[in-house]
């Protein structure tokens, strides 16, 4: 039963990714996997400069900006169990990326600042366990190494939606498809960064990202 449920979730989410592809119109970086067992990978730019992701064959390239939703690529479906290879190019620096995806796994490759103006990558892995066509799926990705526990609050009563999200990890939950304004902050610290998600749609997945650049916390969201 669990395998059947995962297959159903995988098919539904694959459909969502296909719809997202039409919006982003990005080149396909990897060979698409079989419909029964696929992994999905996307890249998120959490740095101050634009970066490029180049496929291992060098035939496809995705540009990621340093502004809002332009920071994130769509999810690319790939063959499950295949080793994914790419090159991240930032200014004159290039770094290789290799990752192995498991069946139904969603992998976010975060490109973050490193020493001496360079960048590095951090992986955030997620395997969907539920799906509800009547509700929205909302996630908080903590890409701030100095934020030990990120929290998202919002709604009419400023209720806690997601909390205790450790650095370079994710939490996700189902919420009602309402118009949502939220604030993302670090637990125990004053202030926070506002994010306006507008009207959530039933059956859709959303990701909110927290990052810090030049000592300023920033948030942005994308529809997966």
pTM of structure: 0.83
Q: How far apart are CA 45 and CA 169, in angstroms?
A: 16
Q: How far apart are CA 101 and CA 92, in angstroms?
A: 29
User: Fold match between 2-126 and 136-223?
Assistant: yes
For 139, other C-beta atoms within 10 Å of its C-beta total: 22
Question: Which residues on adjacent β-strands are paired with residue 63?
Answer: 52
- Give me the pLDDT at residue 93, please: 86
- Strands of 38-45's sheet in order across: 76-79, 38-45, 106-113, 119-126
Q: How far apart are CA 146 and CA 178, in angstroms?
A: 31
Task: Report whether CATH 2.60.40.1120 matches the domain 2-126.
Answer: no
Q: Are 81 and 34 in contact (CB under 8 A)?
A: no
**Domain boundaries in the chain?**
2-126, 136-223
- Give me the pLDDT at residue 210, please: 95
> What stretch of H or E contains 43?
strand 38-45
- Give me the pLDDT at residue 187, please: 81
Mean pLDDT per 10-residue run, the chain (224 residues)?
42 41 49 66 94 81 90 88 86 88 92 87 90 93 94 90 96 94 86 91 96 89 92
CATH of region 136-223: 2.60.40.2890
> pLDDT tens digits for 76-111?
888 877 788 899 998 888 999 998 888 889 999 999
């Amino acid at each position: 039963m669990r395998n059947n449920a995962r297959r159903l979730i995988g098919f539904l989410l694959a459909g969502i990714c296909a719809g997202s592809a039409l919006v982003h119109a990005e080149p396909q970086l990897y060979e698409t996997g079989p419909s029964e067992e696929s992994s999905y990978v996307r890249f998120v730019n959490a740095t101050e400069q634009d970066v490029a992701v180049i496929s291992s064959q060098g035939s496809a390239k995705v540009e990621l900006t340093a502004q809002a939703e332009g920071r994130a690529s769509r999810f690319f479906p790939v063959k499950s169990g295949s080793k994914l290879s790419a090159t991240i190019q930032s200014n004159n620096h290039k770094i290789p990326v290799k990752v192995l995806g498991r069946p139904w796994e969603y992998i976010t490759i975060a490109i973050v600042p490193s020493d001496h103006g360079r960048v590095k990558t951090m992986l955030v892995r997620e395997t969907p366990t539920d799906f509800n066509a009547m509700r929205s799926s909302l996630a908080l990705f903590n890409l701030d190494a100095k934020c030990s526990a990120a929290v998202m609050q919002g709604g009419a009563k400023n209720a806690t939606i997601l909390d205790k999200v450790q650095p370079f990890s994710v939490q996700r939950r189902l919420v009602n498809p309402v118009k949502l304004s939220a604030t993302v902050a670090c637990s125990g610290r004053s202030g926070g960064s506002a994010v306006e998600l507008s009207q959530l749609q039933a059956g859709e997945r959303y990701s909110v990202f927290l990052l810090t650049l030049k000592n300023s916390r920033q948030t942005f969201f994308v529809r997966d």
